[in-house]
């Protein structure tokens, strides 16, 4: 059944199906989807609003906690402002201190008298007795350098960096940094500074880091930038009440602050990463809000897909039914045309020879005999054809009934073959018989058996071509009894051997030999009802062997 036939014959049914079922359903689906989507969006907006307000509350209480607890994750840059100036993080180092009085003599020797050798001795004494050992050691190193004792100077700087790293010089610079720079031991120093190892003022930090690597940048400097922004642009609300927490926005930072009395204010910038990375997911989980977009999409997609699958399934079923119906129609048409054609020949012959017998009184006894034989033969053929059609229609209706009996089929087969022999020999065939006189008992329906055997013999005659030899055999063995008909006629191609048992199938090799392709279909049906099988072995041009295999009754 080609698609063209389907669309040609049943385009209307198909269009009606599409127009009345598929199209309206797709429209409904679309409308449903639209309203579902609107609802989903409304719900999403509502949820988002609820979430935003809950988040605000959470941020508020986290901010409160951050004022009580120093390293709260919500605070990224903490600050203190006094009298409008940012004092933490410090932007500028305090002005340099004076050297202690005990150092004045040594300083004079070093700087005014230009006697580093004497100064060295004085500083060494101070190192031994004075509390500011770091300061003394740095002066010792300086004098050694002035005296050209470079290695000793470097050793002194190293000792200073190792022993008094947190001690500061008169300009408030940590010895840990200054001495390491002097000694040239800068490996890892940048990272130590950038990790906040020393508390530095913004200008100090920037100076040291630029010295160490002018090209590198570090987030460590962000809080100084933030401090500068604070100093330049931050204006707290008027009339702050002490202890109360206020919030505001500064550039891209959100800040919280509170007054600590006497023109002092402290606060911090909110750590956005913590809010988005920790607080929001946690809150979402607590509120049971999942990211449903993807899930919803799967549900919509799945539902639509399912409907489409069902619709396609409907289309397939419809097409299949249509093609089945068309095939059945064709079968019926074929049957009617071939049956009427097949019936015509015997009826014409019967009538012709019947009329001859009636009208022509002067026929010789031989001629009379011939006429009667033809009439009998053709009426037998006619009744076989009608039998076939009746059986076929019973099978199609599921009303074919068999009446089985248990027994030896050898004498029955011999009888059927014997009945046929005369007809065959008259048609010029030589029949070779190899039939065992008895066989193990099988379950069989004698009428059906007779029909199957007759069909095979009929076919052997029809498809023998020039050959005139037909052989029949009945053998028992291997738990079965097999009847075989062999001819040496046209044969059947391998591809067609399985198809010849289908209804109305007529092999191309057979030629137009009368019949309507039902004989072997009936044979197979009969054999299946017997629990046995119908088999063929054939070679085009060499002939065929058809076998009926009956299982031995247990």
CB nearer ligand ADP, residue 203 or residue 539: 539
Residue choice 492, 527, 534, 549 for contact with ligand ADP (CB under 6 A): 492
Residue 109 as a binder of ligand ADP (CB under 6 A): the answer is no
Does residue 487 touch ligand ADP according to CB under 6 A? yes
**Vertex 503 angle, CA 350 and 514, to 5°:** 30
**Measured distance CA(554)–CA(551) in Å, rounded:** 9
For residue 196, give every residue at least 6 positions away whose Cβ sits within 8 Å of its Cβ, in sequence order, or none: 220
Please list, in sequence order, all residues whose beta carbon lies within 8 angstroms of the beta carbon of residue 73, skipping any fewer than 6 positions away.
271, 274, 278
Residue 391 contacts ligand ADP per CB under 6 A: no
Q: CB 485 → ligand ADP: shortest distance, Å? A: 7
Is residue 176 a contact point for ligand ADP (CB under 6 A)?
A: no
Alpha helices for 360-445 (secondary structure H):
365-397, 410-426
What is d(CA 424, CA 414) in angstroms, rounded to the nearest whole number?
A: 15
Which range, of 159-167, 238-246, 468-476, 487-495, touches ligand ADP by CB under 6 A?
487-495
**Total residues at interface with ligand ADP (CB under 6 A):** 23
Of the two residues 58 and 499, which places its CB atom closer to ligand ADP in the complex? Answer: 499
Determine if the peptide bond prior to 89 is cis (ω within 30°).
Answer: yes
Q: Which residue bears the tokens 């101070």?
A: 126
Rounded Cα–Cα distance for residues 14 and 319 (Å): 8
Q: Which residues contact 296 (CB under 8 A, 6 or more apart)?
A: 40
Asked if 472 interacts with ligand ADP (CB under 6 A), we say no
Give 479's contacts (C-beta < 8 A, 6+ positions apart): 551, 552
Interface with ligand ADP, residue 489, by CB under 6 A: yes
Tokens for 551, please give them.
């299982």
Q: Could you tell me the smallest distance in angstroms from the CB atom of residue 446 to ligand ADP?
A: 21
Give the nearest distance from C-beta 497 to ligand ADP in angstroms: 9
Q: Is 79 in the site for ligand ADP (CB under 6 A)?
A: no
Q: Which of 3-11, 56-64, 329-337, 506-514 is the region at the interface with ligand ADP (rule: CB under 6 A)?
A: 506-514
Question: Of 465 and 551, which has the nearer Cβ to ligand ADP?
Answer: 465
Nearest to ligand ADP of 318, 518 (CB atom): 518
Output the six-digit token pair for 289: 């809000």
Binding part of the chain for ligand ADP, among 176-184, 223-231, 304-312, 457-465 by CB under 6 A, reads 457-465
Question: 120 or 461, CB closer to ligand ADP?
Answer: 461
Helix axes 202-212, 222-233, angle to 10 degrees: 140
Closer Cβ to ligand ADP, 110 or 342, answer by number:
342
The residues facing 255 across adjacent strands are: 248, 269
Nearest residue (CB) to ligand ADP, 234 versus 463:
463
Question: Which region, judged by CB under 6 A, interacts with ligand ADP, from 79-87, 115-123, 324-332, 456-464?
Answer: 456-464
User: Considering the complex, what minimum distance in angstroms separates the CB of residue 329 from ligand ADP?
Assistant: 21
Contact pick of 507, 534, 548, 549 for ligand ADP (by CB under 6 A): 507
Q: Which residue's CB comes closest to ligand ADP?
A: 515
Q: Does 519 bind ligand ADP (CB under 6 A)?
A: yes
Site membership for ligand ADP, residue 463 (CB under 6 A): yes
**67 contributes a contact to ligand ADP by CB under 6 A:** no
User: Out of 506, 525, 530, 547, which residue is the one contacting ligand ADP (CB under 6 A)?
Assistant: 506
Q: Comparing C-alpha atoms, which of 296, 294, 256, 297 is closest to residue 275?
A: 256
Decide if residue 89 touches ligand ADP (CB under 6 A). Answer: no
Q: Helix 23-68 to helix 280-287 angle, to the nearest 10 degrees? A: 120
Query: Taking contact as CB under 6 A, which single stretch among the options 82-90, 102-110, 434-442, 500-508 is the one that binds ligand ADP?
Result: 500-508
Q: Does 518 bind ligand ADP (CB under 6 A)?
A: yes
Q: Is 195 helix (H, G, I), strand (E, B) or coil?
A: coil
Q: Please list the residues that pair with 545 across neighbouring strands.
A: 486, 537
The residue among 480 and 544 lying less far from ligand ADP, judged by its C-beta, is: 544
**515: contact with ligand ADP by CB under 6 A:** yes
What is the pairing mode between strands 480-487 and 543-551? antiparallel
Burial (CB < 10 A; 0-12, 13-18, 19+), residue 261, is: exposed
Alpha carbons within 13 A on the beta-carbon side of 506: 16
Of 510, 524, 527, 547, which lies in the binding site for ligand ADP, with binding defined by CB under 6 A?
510
Long-range contacts of 512-519 (CB under 8 A, 24+ apart): 513/462, 513/463, 514/342, 514/345, 514/462, 515/342, 515/458, 515/462, 516/334, 516/335, 516/338, 516/339, 516/342, 517/338, 518/388, 518/389, 518/392, 519/388, 519/455, 519/458, 519/459
Among 208, 392, 429, 521, binds ligand ADP (CB under 6 A): 521
Give yes or no for residue 520 binding ligand ADP (CB under 6 A): yes
| Residue of 271, 459, 480, 482 interacting with ligand ADP (CB under 6 A) | 459
Q: Which stretch binds ligand ADP (CB under 6 A): 250-258, 360-368, 452-460, 475-483?
A: 452-460
Q: Find the shortest distance in angstroms from Cβ 355 to ligand ADP.
A: 28
- Following DSSP, what letter does each residue of 433-474 receive, concatenated? EEE-S----EEE-HHHHHHHHHHHHHHHHHT-TT--EEEEEE
| Binding flag, residue 120, ligand ADP (CB under 6 A) | no
Query: Is there binding between residue 532 and ligand ADP (CB under 6 A)?
Result: no
Instruction: Answer yes or no whether residue 431 interacts with ligand ADP by CB under 6 A.
Output: no
Residues that bind ligand ADP (CB under 6 A): 455, 459-460, 462-463, 487, 489-492, 500, 505-507, 510, 515-521, 544
């Amino acid at each position: 059944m080609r698609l063209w036939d389907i669309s040609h014959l049943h385009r209307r049914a198909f269009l009606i199906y599409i127009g009345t079922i598929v199209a309206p359903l797709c429209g409904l689906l679309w409308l449903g989807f639209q309203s579902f989507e609107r609802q989903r969006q409304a719900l999403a907006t509502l949820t988002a609003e609820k979430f935003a307000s809950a988040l605000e509350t959470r941020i508020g209480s986290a901010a409160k906690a951050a004022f009580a607890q120093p390293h709260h994750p919500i605070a990224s840059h903490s600050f203190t402002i006094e009298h409008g100036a940012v004092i933490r993080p410090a932007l500028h180092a305090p002005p340099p201190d004076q050297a202690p009085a005990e150092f004045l003599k040594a300083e004079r020797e070093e700087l005014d008298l230009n006697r580093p050798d004497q100064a060295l001795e004085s500083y060494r004494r101070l190192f031994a007795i004075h509390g500011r050992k770091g300061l003394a050691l740095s002066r010792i190193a300086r004098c050694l350098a002035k005296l050209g004792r470079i290695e000793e100077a470097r050793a002194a700087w190293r000792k200073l960096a190792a022993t008094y790293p947190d001690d500061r010089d008169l300009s408030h610079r940590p010895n840990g940094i200054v001495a390491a720079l002097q000694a040239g031991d800068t490996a890892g120093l940048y990272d130590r500074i950038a990790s906040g190892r020393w508390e530095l003022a913004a200008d100090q930090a920037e100076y040291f880091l630029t010295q160490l690597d002018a090209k590198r940048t570090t987030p460590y400097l962000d809080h100084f930038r933030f401090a500068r922004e604070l100093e330049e642009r931050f204006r707290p609300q008027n009339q702050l009440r002490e202890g109360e927490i206020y919030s505001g926005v500064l550039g891209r930072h959100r800040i919280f602050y509170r007054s600590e009395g006497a023109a002092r204010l402290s606060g911090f910038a909110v750590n956005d990463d913590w809010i988005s990375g920790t607080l929001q997911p946690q809150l979402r989980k607590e509120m049971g809000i999942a990211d449903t977009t993807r899930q919803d999409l799967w549900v919509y997609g799945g539902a639509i897909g399912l409907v489409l699958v069902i619709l396609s399934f409907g289309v397939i079923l419809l097409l299949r039914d249509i093609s089945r119906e068309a095939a059945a129609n064709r079968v019926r048409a074929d049957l009617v045309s071939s049956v009427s054609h097949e019936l015509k020949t015997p009826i014409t012959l019967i009538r012709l020879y019947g009329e001859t017998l009636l009208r022509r009184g002067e026929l010789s006894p031989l001629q009379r005999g011939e006429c009667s034989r033809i009439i009998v033969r053709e009426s037998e053929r006619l009744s076989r054809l009608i039998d076939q059609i009746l059986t076929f229609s019973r099978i199609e209706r599921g009303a074919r009934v068999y009446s089985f009996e248990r027994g030896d089929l050898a004498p029955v087969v011999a009888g059927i073959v014997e009945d046929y022999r005369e007809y065959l020999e008259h048609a010029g065939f030589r029949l070779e018989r190899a039939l065992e006189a008895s066989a193990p008992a099988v379950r069989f329906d004698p009428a059906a058996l007779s029909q199957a055997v007759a069909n095979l013999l009929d076919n052997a005659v029809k498809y023998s071509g020039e050959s005139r030899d037909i052989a029949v055999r009945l053998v028992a063995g291997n738990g079965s009894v097999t009847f075989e008909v062999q001819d040496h006629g046209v044969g059947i191609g391998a591809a067609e051997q399985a198809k010849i048992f289908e209804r109305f199938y007529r092999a191309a090799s057979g030629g137009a030999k009368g019949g309507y392709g039902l004989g072997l279909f009936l044979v197979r049906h009969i054999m299946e009802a017997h629990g046995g099988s119908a088999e063929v072995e054939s070679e085009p041009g060499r002939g065929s062997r058809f076998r009926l295999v009956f299982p031995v009754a247990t």
